[in-house]
Amino acid sequence: MKFVTVATENAEGGILAHAVRTTNFFIAKGLRLDAAALAQLLGARVEKVAVAWLEAGDVPEDRAAERAARHLVGEGVYAKTAHAGRVNLCASQKGLLLFEPQGVNALNHVDEAITIATLPLHDMVEPGQVVATIKVNPYAVREEVVVAWEKAAKSFCVAAFRPRHASLIQTLAPGLKQSVLDKTSRATAERLEALGGALTAETRTLHESEALAAELRQRIAAGDDLILVCGACSIADRNDVIPSGIVAAGGRIEHFGMPVDPGNLLLLGAIGEVPVIGMPGCARTSQFNGFDYILRRVFAGLEVGGEVITNMGVGGLLKETPWRAEPRAAAKSGTDFSTGKRAPAPRIAALVLAAGLSSRMGENKLLLPLEGKPMLRHVVDAIRSSSIASTTVVLGHHADAVRALFDDAYIGFVVNEDYRQGLSTSLKKGLGALAPEIDGAMVFLGDMPDVDPALIDRMIAAFDPGQMRAIIVPKRAGRQGHPVLWGRGFFSILMEKMTGDIGAKAFIGQYAEWVAEIEANHDGVFTDLDTPEAFRVRKLREPTGDDAPRRQPRLSNIER
């Protein structure tokens, strides 16, 4: 592959090496230039372009990425379609991620043209979650490099969690409050449910070896798959009450202690083939600790023993990682296991771009009547019928007339004095006006009256930056539409990169690994009424009389 700058008329068949921006259009890098693209460039008086020419033996980036991914796909893992030289490996089932770290290092040493980045080994993953990403550096790679990668590749797998019926035995001592015992029971049940298991029984007995042994025998007779023991006192050594009770019940002690903090005083034992885990005191709360590491491995059917535990020291210091304080189920449900209170859902703001000149319509299209009210009201009413946290309308052309369409406190306004300089100025103005507690912004165009409140809610539900779902895009029949939801982490990038009439949507392809597409149920994501003809056609579909829909906006917190 070679890079050259050539006259535009001679660039057909080359790959555009650098994006081309003008005030009227944008062509992303990586596009193979055909006659239509050349005509567009020449029409904009772009006389020279930088292109990449593929040579004999070059494998185009997407084909190389797909070949690189093919040999990494194992049980519980699938590869997505390549885009811009990138392929994401995703989990097809819930479980623990398995791969050989040295094998990953070996792949990254094959050639700098292909790289792979992964989640941590043994990370708990959900279906659809990205577990690794492979990137071919543009725009092609030599055949021998791809072959060398294929030979070195070793598969990624996800060990699925297996349903297990577990019991909890808590030992009692004077001064141990009932509330502490109840809290331990709730936290344990939530942990098990997060792994697909269930707490089928809980018993409480004296903090004495024989009393504990009697309870353990009953649980073995009941056919439990896993027995958890939480002592009134922390386990001090192998001869303490809990290990002595396990031995007295006919069991054995496999390992005591672990190089993970919090979680040091964990005991691993067994009675026959049934694992018995002496829980560290920190497991009484929802705080992530060494007990979670062991529990996940047990549910995934992975080996758990002294050698495995003693190798957990690297990365075992967990006290300074507050973002891991809740098991995944709590983060998903919004519930704090230790308090029972629901955590706040992501706060998504709506940015409605209503500043444009409407030059193609010939009059301000946002004020035109549609189904009994101005076009812009349809957009805002749909937003108000959703779970959007706040709405900001960006004004510009005919600002006073547009503002007059609304008389409620639910909507905020910001005026873009530079609206004549293009769409990007309105979006920048809107992003800059959002409160710091906002987690993301959904960008709406004021001339798209058929947006669906249910779709808005589904997009918000899919938003999860921690799972690399930070850009949410509606999709219909293979095409992406509007609105688009952007996580706060992209605000500064958009503010820096957007120019002229180039909006945020132009950058979606550059961050494909962060994109989640939500299938729309109708073509409202494409309805774009910016010409008299488009408006006339839409009016012909306007319901009349008793057939007219009566959408009731959801009340805002202020109105409640």
Q: What is the pLDDT of residue 486?
A: 94
Calpha distance 185→193 (Å, rounded)? 12
Per CATH, the architecture of 58-160 is what? Alpha-Beta Complex (3.90)
Per CATH, the architecture of 2-53 is what? Alpha-Beta Complex (3.90)
pLDDT higher for 218 or 22? 218
**What is the pLDDT of the chain when averaged over all its residues?**
86
Cβ burial 241-274 (10 Å sphere, 16+ → b, else e): bbbbbbbebebebbbbbbbbebbbbbbbbbbeeb
Q: Taking the domains of the chain in order of start, what are their residue ranges? A: 2-53, 58-160, 165-333, 348-547
Average the pLDDT over each of 131-145, 357-371, 434-448 and give the range with the smallest value. Answer: 357-371
Fold: same for 58-160 and 348-547: no
If we measure between CA atoms, which residue out of 417, 426, 420 comes closest to residue 446?
Answer: 426
Instruction: List beta partners, residue 133.
Output: 88, 117
Paired tokens of 26: 């944008």
Instruction: List beta partners, residue 556.
Output: none
pLDDT in tens, 335-359: 343 333 444 578 999 999 988 876 6
pLDDT in tens, 378-414: 899 999 889 999 999 999 988 888 888 887 657 899 9
**Region 231-238 average pLDDT:** 90
If we measure between CA atoms, which residue out of 403, 308, 300 comes closest to residue 352?
Answer: 403
- Write the burial class of residue 324 (CB in 10 Å: 0-12 exposed, 13-18 middle, 19+ buried): middle
Rounded to 10 deg, the angle between the 143-152 and 61-70 helix axes is 20
Per CATH, the architecture of 165-333 is what? 3-Layer(aba) Sandwich (3.40)
Rounded to 10 deg, the angle between the 101-108 and 143-152 helix axes is 170
Indicate if the pLDDT at residue 252 is higher than 80.
yes
For the domain covering 348-547, report its CATH number.
3.90.550.10
pLDDT higher for 477 or 433? 433
pLDDT in tens, 197-221: 999 999 999 999 999 999 999 999 9
**Cβ atoms 134, 69 nearer than 8 A:** yes
